[in-house]
Amino acid sequence: MNIFEKIYCRIFQFCFKVAIPFLPYRNPVILDNVESISQILKEKHAEKVLIVVDSNIEKLKLNYNLEKTLTDNNILFFKYDKIFSDPTINNVEEAKNLYIENKCQAIIGFGGGSAIDCAKAVGARIARPNLSIPKMAGILKILKEIPLLIAIPTTAGTGSETTVATLITDSETKRKYMIGDFPLIPKYAILDAENIKTLPQNITAFVGIDVLVHAIEAYIGNSTTKKTREQSLQAVSLVYKNLYDTYLDGNNLEKRRNMLQASYLAGCAFTISYVGYCHAIAHTIGGMYHVPHGLANAIIIPYVLEAYGEKIYKKLKELGVAAGLFDENINQEQGAKIFIESIKDLNSKMGIGTKIDAIKKEDINEIVKNALKEGNPVYPVPVLMGKKELSLIVEKLMK
Ligand SMILES: [Zn+2]
């Protein structure tokens, strides 16, 4: 990256940082059990609702309690359950049509990031019927209230319940469209550990490490605030105290609850302080080869942190203290290295490897191009990177 590109990126990021206190960020109202949803819907006079649920979650019947509560309270629901991995434009259009045909009055996103992202995009399409998904891509294109949106995360990972963003894929071109605007922040988020106790072990691991990566990338970036730094530190501490135990015993509701809390805190932090190149590469690889988002992030993060080098030693040491790995008297470089090694250890204990086999040599240029397009100038990364640096990271990810 040349000096003029670097200056452009930093000025862009500086303007966003200065604007943070003036932007209409808000956090969703948090509730801790699914049963409370009927009360909210009644207060808002919503008698017909659309549920957007991941197909896998539907198979696991995790939405049983939600549907029972709605039925018991005479709230009619219509269910869209055709999301198989990343939500596509077709998913959004089909779910939107279901909402309109049945004159629904609220949207419930139930599941992982995919279902909640799809629910957000449905809301956006209803608020802006004349704007297609590709036309909404980017930031601040909606600028209008969307229908009542309630997010019920079931994976304790994506943080999508707190964020302004949604990521929708065009299934034909494989292109991903990021839409970011304040009306997309759900009004309510229900963090109910009962919903996630049957989550399979590997998914628990992937989404748990994703939480950690959200917290790390938000913390080491240049656009942090006192609050997002605190939220990141708390999230890291919760992940180190709870993730591996949850992986070993999914029925431990207290640990599951703590991971939901970590996911929420990390989500709040990165909504304001952004993520970094790890996510930019993971999104691209996820879109090209269908590698689960959390798995991609888990494998990529140590390489990205090592590539940032000494610029982030101090912050990584602070994260290591929050993780309980050592006390603050440790030397910065040593602390940073122990923290990176601890992520590798956690990955390995949970069966996560160190390479992404799917990456093809001939695709490196495309991966790097798309990752740079996502990362620069928006992500306030600690060290700006260009084609050369990102290519080196992607090469290391290959077998
Ligand atoms: Zn993520």
Kindly give the distance from the C-alpha atom of residue 212 to the centroid of ligand 1, in angstroms, as a whole number: 9
Give residue-wise pLDDT tens across range 322-332: 999 999 999 99
The CA distance from 31 to 27, in Å, is 12
Domains of the chain listed by start with CATH number? 3-21+200-397 (1.20.1090.10), 32-196 (3.40.50.1970)
Kindly give the distance from the C-alpha atom of residue 7 to the centroid of ligand 1, in angstroms, as a whole number: 27
The CA distance from 276 to 298, in Å, is 14
pLDDT for the residue numbered 113? 83
Does pLDDT of 155 surpass 80? no
Residue 156's pLDDT band (cuts 50, 70, 90):
low
Token pair for 257: 């609850």
The CA distance from 183 to 201, in Å, is 34
For helices 253-273 and 226-248, angle between their N-to-C axes, nearest 10 degrees: 150
Mean predicted lDDT score pLDDT of the chain: 93
Kindly give the distance from the C-alpha atom of residue 295 to the centroid of ligand 1, in angstroms, as a whole number: 10
Kindly give the distance from the C-alpha atom of residue 277 to the centroid of ligand 1, in angstroms, as a whole number: 11
Does pLDDT of 221 surpass 80? yes
pTM reported for the whole predicted model: 0.88
Percentage of residues of the chain with pLDDT beyond 70: 99
Kindly give the distance from the C-alpha atom of residue 294 to the centroid of ligand 1, in angstroms, as a whole number: 6
pLDDT for the residue numbered 157? 64
Q: Comparing C-alpha atoms, which of 199, 185, 190 is closest to residue 153? A: 190
Residue 48's pLDDT band (cuts 50, 70, 90):
very high
> Positive or negative, the Cα torsion across 222, 226, 229, 235?
negative
Token pair for 244: 């591996």
Question: What is the 8-class DSSP label of residue 315?
Answer: H
Does pLDDT of 194 surpass 90? no
Number of CB atoms found within 10 A of residue 224's CB: 22
